[in-house]
Amino acid sequence: MTATVAFIGLGVMGFPMAGHLSAAGFTMQVYNRNRTRALEWAERYEGTACATIADAVKDADFILTCVGADPDLTSIFKGSDGIIANARAGALVIDHTTASATIAEQLARDCEEHGIGFMDAPVSGGQAGAENGQLTIMCGGHRGHFEQAQPILACYARAKNLMGTAGAGQKTKMVNQIAIAGLLQGLSEALNFAEHAGLNIEKVVDVISKGAAQSWQMENRSGTMARGEFEHGFAVDWMRKDLAICLNEARKNGASLPVTAVVDQFYADIQAMGGRRWDTSSLIERLRDRK
């Protein structure tokens, strides 16, 4: 497929995702707030590092965004140099940021008023999933936009699903983060118990991972948790940002999230221990600290 793609936000996720698109033959125009990062990307991949958002998006068929949070989205979409003011009519925006459903719904309306398509499409799979092109993508928007986006998403997704209208992708990502928080706390307690009991962690995991306790977290993080290695992806700071979104949405829709609320505070403890950039499996270190 011959198309021009603008990619805004070249963090640990966006950098390799944009790289996959370049490798697939799309004409790439990238922008990052820290221009050095964009220039580094352009040295590694085929594409243009643009000085402004306007330059990146003005002739793009697809505009992909992957930034930090709601305020960052407001910054790149609004204003005279923003996406909405400079994207051409008929372009499709695919937002991979994990953000609130509220801003996804608002941006969808704003884009539609200017003849621009919009789809919220948060991802799961972490840095490794982005680098290996194995992300899971949860989409919210029109069916036509979802179909239009298929050649793009196929470059870095192992699974992609349309979950409903605008905002549904973000709400699905909230479900994902709620589930992960509870799983990691349970796994942390289990491994910490095994340590106190004097058991061989590798043998314990080998046997219980064959039964009902099995999970992706157990298969991929139990070993590093046992060794106290927490440099494997999604940072605690970002998890707290995501859980705040989950808890705020729950207050709106009436859902009860008692475990999520407690685990969020456990992550606050990890931050206080100096683990702001540790990955989310570091919950076990809080238990060790209390021996």
Q: Catalytic amino acids?
A: 173
- C-alpha distances (whole Å) from 136 to each of 19, 92, 130, 162, 173 are 17, 20, 10, 11, 10
Distance (Å, whole) CA 160 – CA 66: 17
Distance CA 156, CA 165 (A): 22
Distance between CA atoms of residues 258 and 217, nearest Å: 21
- What is the amino acid identity at position 66? C
> Which residues fall within 8 angstroms of residue 281, CB to CB, at 6 or more apart?
184, 187, 188, 217, 221, 224, 225, 230, 232
- Note whether 12 and 20 are within 8 A (CB): no
- Are 38 and 91 spatial neighbours (Cβ–Cβ below 8 Å)? no
Q: Which two tokens stand for residue 105?
A: 């719904």
**Token pair belonging to 217:** 């977290």
Indicate the residue type of 64: L
